[in-house]
């Protein structure tokens, strides 16, 4: 079954693949695609950096409303309490 954390990682992997495709088009001569790839990569880095520092991830909070949290996360919370 799909859980929120897995869906988040799948979406991140798809986004990285899309950015890699844009960068490839940019290297083939389309400078607009290369610039777009750079801007999207910068945005993704910021989106990953903020939750890393604060522990607050709004995307994961939204996904947890749609998908259940992973079971391994439930086990970790029980161990911490």
pTM of the model: 0.75
Q: Block means of pLDDT (10 residues each) for the chain, length 81 residues?
A: 90 94 89 92 91 89 90 58 50
Rounded Cα distance between 57 and 10, Å, is 16
The closest of 25, 51, 55, 52 to 38, measured between CA atoms, is 25
Domain range summary for the chain, segments of one domain joined by +: 4-80
Question: What local confidence, expressed as pLDDT, does residue 70 receive?
Answer: 87
User: What pLDDT, on a 0 to 100 scale, did the predictor assign at position 79?
Assistant: 53
Q: How much is the pLDDT for 19? A: 93
- Per-residue confidence (pLDDT) for residue 29, from 0 to 100: 87
């Amino acid at each position: 079954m799909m859980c929120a954390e897995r869906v988040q990682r799948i979406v991140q992997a798809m986004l990285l693949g899309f950015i890699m495709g844009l960068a490839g088009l940019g290297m083939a001569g389309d400078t607009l695609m290369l610039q777009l790839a750079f801007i999207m990569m910068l945005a993704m880095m910021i989106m990953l950096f903020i939750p890393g520092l604060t522990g607050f991830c709004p995307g994961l909070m939204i996904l947890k409303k749609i998908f259940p949290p992973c079971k391994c996360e439930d086990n970790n919370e029980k161990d911490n309490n």
